[in-house]
Amino acid sequence: MNKRSMRILGFYQIQSMLVKLAPSRLSKEAARHLTPSGDAAVIEESLRDTEEAVICLQREASSPFGGIVDIRPALEKACREITLDSQECIDIWNNIRCYEHVKKFFAEKEKDYPQLVKKTQFIMDFSVLEHKIAAVFDENHQIRDNASPELLHLRNRIVELERQTKRYMQSVLQNKEYQKYFQDILITVRNNRYVVPIKQEYRHVFPGIVHDMSASGSTLYIEPLAIVNANNDLQQARMGETKEIERIFKRLTAIAADQYEDLMNSTMCVGKLEFIFAKAQLAIQMKACRPVVSKKKQVRLLHARHPLIAPDVVVPNTIIIGGEYRILLITGSNTGGKTVAMKTLGLLVLMYQAGLFIPVGENSELPIFRDVFVDIGDEQDISQNLSTFSSHMKQLIYILKHCSTEDLILADELGSGTDPAEGSAIAIAVLQSLYDKGACVMVTTHYNDLKNFAYNTKGIENGHVEFDVQTLQPTYKLRIGSAGSSHAFSISEKLGMPVGILNKARELRSKAQDVDMEAILTKLNTQSKQMDEEQVELEQRLQRVRKLEDDLRREKDKVSSKRQDIVDSSRRDAMELKRKLRIEAESIIRELKQQFRETTDREKAKAIEQARRSIQQISLPDKEKTKRNPIDVKTLQIGQRVFINSLDGLGTVMSIKGKKLTVSVKGMTVRVENKDISAPYYDEIKQEQREEKKAAAVSSYRPIRIDAVAAEINVIGKTGSEAIPEVEKFLDQALAAGFSPVRIIHGKGSGALRRQIHDFLDHQPFISSYKLDDAEGGGAGVTLVFF
């Protein structure tokens, strides 16, 4: 890619932003080497990397990056068998722990970030090396005493020798014969040897070796001769400790050297991943997105913003080149935003082909260009005797020689810097040549001849940047489809040009041949602006119509929701009735138990079972039948309201199995045949709703506290007659609390208790099914009950 274009368009400033976001030296290095590519496959992979990283940053609570250092110099030392120092070993240790964290983070996210996960495959396993280093250093990065048996022995000896030496020194300090020689009664260290401070005048009296002197010269630090041997032993032990540590580091160096390739590849891999996430952070910071690759070689940037202009200042513009035209000619006032629009296009193309997201609207499109050629700004060279016009021509000649149909060309003020007539003629010829080459071109100009050429030439389109003649201020809005005026008089007036001079200039301009064209352009641009305003108003009206449509749809949904509320209310009422019936049944059973208190267990159980069956056989009295419309069973759905002829009441379909239905009626679940149901009347449904509301208003029912109800019952060791009443009470409470399933623990044993409980469950209409628990939950000793 053309480095001159990258410099002029500001790509290196984007690089600097990436460098600041990159957390490590490796990722910063990758950011500095970032360049746009012309390879479609490379661009696609890079953009996909950025996209997955953006999703990861937005979805995950945190990213696993940060904290790695550049260990490549240390690895090179290890490879050359140069012993690593303590900090280098610690850096390697910290890095491989970071590598493990990154690998673990992406291990289970292959479906979410497949491309990033694939890159982590280059991170190797360093558990052995990590264990070896962890055996040497503690969490505070200090060398452990037990890093090796020899080091432990030496450090223990050093401690013992230090204790012994200090004891000798204390005996010297406590010697009354020497008291007058001491400057201070203390023990200090000089040159790694224990010494005492002696007054200068007693240096020849006190026997010892001088190691240091105070700044004033009044104190000498002398090692007493009595402890020289002790200090020598201590010094020798310390030297042994240093050699042992060096030997340990040499061993770690050898292990690192053996894994040189894996460590180097893993380091580069994590550095690359950190750089990818820096690109993602830049995308989020710019509120950027990924454009679509244009297969028709069309530039279609919607609401494009220059990434180097502050978001609260930049004016978004839509830039379209391709399709019916390949050359866009931009005209308009000075300082109106022509060059900014051109640089926006060029910089966004470079960023896109470098794998970066760009600040544009969704569904923007960009083709892949082989190169970007730029002629923007005044680069006259005094040393080469080149004027402004000459420098422009030199660059244009280079572009014409090297450009092709796969390139993007941006030229500012084409043909300027010389005689207007000659300059416009050269500019037209250059445009024609670029059109013949098939390149994608965006140029700016003030020449009216070029505007006419664009209007009359197929494949070239005019555009202009707006200028508000009322406020005499540019709006920086780019409009494609019509040329614009330079507004030189308006701008000069705003800058303070004398009125007399301006009037004379307007008089001279009125005599020019192309004055009519300027007036027409102004009129066309005004009409175009009005049409745009009307289009905005139409869009706002369309939004209001859509809002009304959404409101109507919501109203429809409310009606459907109310219908569902009615069904739910019926179910609640039925459950309440069901609970009352169960309570009444329990009352009857308790009375029977009291009556048969003196009878045998067998007779008591028999009487209770007969009472239960009598309660279950309770039926409603028949009413005079009226002919109703039948229901096609094929159209029935779960939850549908139906009329049960035999029960003379409304019910809700719970399940459909062949020719029989399970219907919920007032809290009771019954099985009926298809021919026993009919279509309900609308008045019946409304009446039922009114009754439900009335019942709800006067109901004194209070639900059972869920936290007071257990989800399982244990009846192991009890007889059937003892267990059944407890199970029945437990099921009533669990049903009222809304638990499902619940567990009945009856044990395995001979199976007699299980069979009696299952026989009881078979006759309970509110139980949908039951089964034995799995092996982990108790197997044949536990029954799961579903309501």
Annotated binding site for ATP: 332-339
Q: Which residues are annotated as a binding site?
A: 332-339
Strands 299-304 and 292-293: unpaired
Residue 660, strand partner residues:
657, 673
* Beta strands per DSSP E along 200-253: 208-213, 219-224
Residue 468: DSSP 8-state: E
Q: Which of 367, 348, 353, 354 is nearest to 288 (CA)?
A: 348
**Contact criterion met (CB below 8 Å) for 732 and 582:** yes
Q: Are strands 365-366 and 292-293 parallel, antiparallel or unpaired?
A: parallel
Q: How far apart are CA 350 and CA 3, in angstroms?
A: 11
Structure tokens at 374: 């730029």
Contact 179, 203 (CB under 8 A): no
Secondary structure letter of residue 210 according to DSSP: E
Q: Considering only CA atoms, which of 128, 121, 137, 119 is closest in space to residue 96?
A: 128
Strand ranges, E, within 188-283: 188-190, 193-199, 208-213, 219-224
Q: Quick one: 549 exposed, middle or buried, by C-beta within 10 A (0-12, 13-18, 19+)?
A: exposed
Q: Pick the closest to residue 148 from 217, 244, 230 (CA basis).
A: 244
Residue 78 tokens, joined? 């290890």
b (16+ CB within 10 A) / e for 62-71 = ebbbeebbbb
| Six-digit token string for 591 | 């009375």
At what angle are helices 720-737 and 752-762 packed, to 10 degrees? 50
Which amino acid type is present at position 104?
Answer: K
Phi-psi region of 323 (alpha: psi -120 to 50; beta: other; left: phi over 0): left
Contact 783, 773 (CB under 8 A): yes
Residue 203: partners with Cβ closer than 8 Å, 6 or more residues away: 210, 220, 222
Kindly provide the residue ranges of all beta strands, DSSP E only, lying in 693-747, ordered along the sequence: 712-714, 742-745
Report CA-CA distances (Å) from 220 to 154, 180, 275, 316, 495.
Answer: 31, 14, 59, 79, 83
CA dist 337 and 185 (Å) reads 83
Which residue is listed with tokens 């040189």?
A: 260
Residue 459: partners with Cβ closer than 8 Å, 6 or more residues away:
324, 325, 326, 327, 435
Structure tokens that stand for 438 in this block: 């098939």
- Dist CA 760 CA 785 (whole Å): 12
Alpha helices in 316-387 (DSSP H): 338-353
Angle CA 513–515–521, to nearest 5:
130
Query: What values do phi and psi take at 479, rounded to 5?
Result: -125, 125
Neighbours of 146 (CB within 10 A): 11
- Describe the crossing of helices 260-286 and 25-32 by its angle, rounded to 10 degrees: 70
Between CA 688 and CA 690 the distance in angstroms is 5
Q: How many whole angstroms separate alpha carbon 752 and alpha carbon 758?
A: 10
